[in-house]
Structure 1
């Protein structure tokens, strides 16, 4: 079984390829490794494992990486997208994750900072396996292939389905005013409401849309088609 972190990240082997078991705490080991990303993480999942912890831990760790300002690229197959809860994906997209879906064949792989990678088998494998890769030449090839696959993919639009969000006329007006980029005082005067009420509506929108900032409100609203079309 893969050793506990931080030994795998900071210790030996400095280079090479190591095979480890998917039994036991494999999911926790791999997602613990994710926490050591310094700049970027590329996660490509074509054929997932059956573990429910795999989905739950992946969601938590990606959220943590985004909150820490890391660059995150996520590549999924249509089959994997079908078993995922789409709400976390849309939230991660609004937080800055770059998410693509592709019909092209690719392998399950996680690459951190182009210095370490994990390859693993998916559900239905006769002999489950996972490899920890720290061989520079192999890492370069894996990273290049993963990015080419990611670039060949498409965004989430049209691929995910969410329950419609029904906004009140006032909330929709606040949303569109917020999208104009007006300062709060100007926006509140335009809508003939107090500054406190205007800001309360913004807080409510964050809650309804599952985001953490005003910028993310606009991104998420655009994804859901909640913004009015610009007038000619």
Structure 2
């Protein structure tokens, strides 16, 4: 084993030999690597495929393989090892029902009130620490999707720090995360940085200029809403009744349809007043070229609903009553 061997980071000794050989040669074809390592070409090809799968090697235009830089390679191996370890621990925790046993322990210490395993359809949770504990618990059991709205726009530094590890854990597990924010989120530098950070990790963020109802929905089976929307510090209601949760999901979907992707909101914010964003210019161009809104939306790269919202907004800004009139007015404004 080499000093500082990559085997300790989960790589096989044979794959490490190939990676180190690539580092020495700078690049090499499968046949050249096979000759240097004195192993059959098919074996080298299998090893190179494994390195490519781990992003530790890449195929150059000239047909040679090149190694990832050492620092990047080590970081990728660490990330892979951590992911494997995290999944292994999660699997063990699930198979051994660790959380369930701890929850049963907690319920056993509470006054008897029927079957402790039966959770009420609506449960009142008071106090911010208790609400956060419930969110942690529900997040742990989430397997597919988390839906969130944030009516107050900008997030406090404390809220961002509390949410960062929770959101990162959700996204690393491959759970779909959809969040709707108010325009104030885009105006606040710290909030915007955080939203762009989790967007890069896979979160789907949208911005709505319409009123939002505060909610969190987990796998469409449980939801949290504030006891008093005007005073969220009072606590939250945990809702598990399927009909009520379904209604909240329906409300979320309507709010989602009325919102725009974060990137669009950021781009629009950077456009000087009275001017058009790039997306708006593309919508204008397609308004008269595309026969159907579905075609125009596909060309612009937005949903049909969002496309029609752009059309309606542009016609309102132009003071037009139909699309033909909008075309004439847009030319007068120098927009097209």
- Give 1 or 2 for the bigger CA radius of gyration: 2
Kindly tell me the number of residue pairs found equivalent between the two proteins.
156
State yes or no: 1:85 paired with 2:191: yes
In terms of fraction of residues, the more helix-rich structure is: 2
Three-state SS of the structure 1 residue aligned to 2:147 is strand
Select the residue among 257, 263, 268 that pairs with 1:157: 263
Q: 1:17 to 1:30 in 2, by over 3 A?
A: same
Long gaps (5+) in structure 1: 162-232
Distance 1:20 1:55 in 2: 22
Distance 1:30 1:22 in 2: 13
Select the residue among 241, 250, 263 that pairs with 1:135: 241
Partner residue, 1:40 = 145
TM-score (norm 1): 0.57
Higher relative CO (Cα under 8 Å, sequence separation at least 6) belongs to 1
Three-state SS of the structure 2 residue aligned to 1:66 is helix
- Note if contact 1:49-1:121 (Cα within 8 Å) is conserved in structure 2: no
Instruction: State the Cα RMSD in Å.
Output: 3.2
Task: Tell me by how many angstroms 1:31 deviates.
Answer: 3.4
Distance 1:85 1:136 in 2: 33
Distance 2:133 2:156 in 1: 11
Q: Deviations over 1:183-221 (max 9, x none)?
A: xxxxxxxxxxxxxxxxxxxxxxxxxxxxxxxxxxxxxxx
State yes or no: 1:112 paired with 2:200: no
- Note if contact 2:154-2:184 (Cα within 8 Å) is conserved in structure 1: no
Task: Tell me by how many angstroms 1:57 deviates.
Answer: 2.1
Distance 1:20 1:126 in 2: 11
Task: Tell me by how many angstroms 1:23 deviates.
Answer: 4.0
Distance 1:27 1:14 in 2: 18
